[in-house]
């Protein structure tokens, strides 16, 4: 399931993709308007099932994370940091399993 929300600090719109257990798998960048965030969700649904669209990364603190990119190379969303590479890889698989979910609009 996706959650669409607006930051109280910046006023920008964001979305996060959650697994069935409620854990956040991935979160978006900030968008200037709600339509941009909705387009981001559509892009995750389109690109999240293809593992070649993910870039596996390691943070400076030694933890692992991923970014999901659209066909044009633009980053759609980023994961939390995982302690292990296998945790990160499971996160990528979870995006593929959950990217077709409904959207809960928390801005309404």
| Number of compact structural domains in the chain | 1
- What pLDDT score does 61 carry? 97
Residues 6+ apart with CB under 8 A from 11: none
- Judge whether 10 lies within some domain: yes
Measure the CA–CA gap between 28 and 68, rounded to whole angstroms.
Answer: 10
Residue 107 lies in a domain: no
- Predicted local confidence at residue 94, as pLDDT: 96
Predicted confidence at residue 108, as pLDDT, reads: 76
Query: CATH number, domain at 56?
Result: 2.30.29.80
Is residue 108 situated within a structural domain?
Answer: no
Distance CA 22, CA 99 (A): 14
Residue 59 maps to a domain: yes
Q: Is residue 18 part of a domain?
A: yes
The pLDDT tens digits for 20-62 are: 899 999 999 999 999 999 999 999 999 999 999 999 999 999 9
pTM exceeds 0.75 for this model = yes
Q: Residue 12 carries which DSSP code?
A: -
Assess if residue 58 is contained within a domain: yes
Identify which of 3, 4, 2, 99 has the alpha carbon closest to the alpha carbon of residue 53: 99
* Residue 47 resides in a domain: yes
Q: How far, in Å, CA of 5 to CA of 14, rounded?
A: 5
Domain containing residue 32: 2-102
């Amino acid at each position: 399931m996706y959650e669409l929300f607006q930051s109280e600090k910046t006023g920008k719109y964001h979305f996060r993709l959650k697994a069935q257990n409620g854990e956040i798998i991935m979160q978006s960048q900030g968008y200037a308007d709600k339509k941009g965030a909705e387009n981001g969700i559509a892009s995750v649904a389109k690109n999240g099932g293809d593992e070649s669209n993910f870039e596996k990364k390691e943070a400076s603190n030694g933890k692992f994370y991923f970014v999901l990119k659209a066909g044009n190379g633009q980053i759609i969303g980023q994961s939390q940091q995982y302690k292990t590479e296998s945790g990160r890889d499971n996160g990528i698989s979870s995006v593929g399993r959950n990217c077709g979910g409904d959207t809960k609009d928390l801005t309404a």
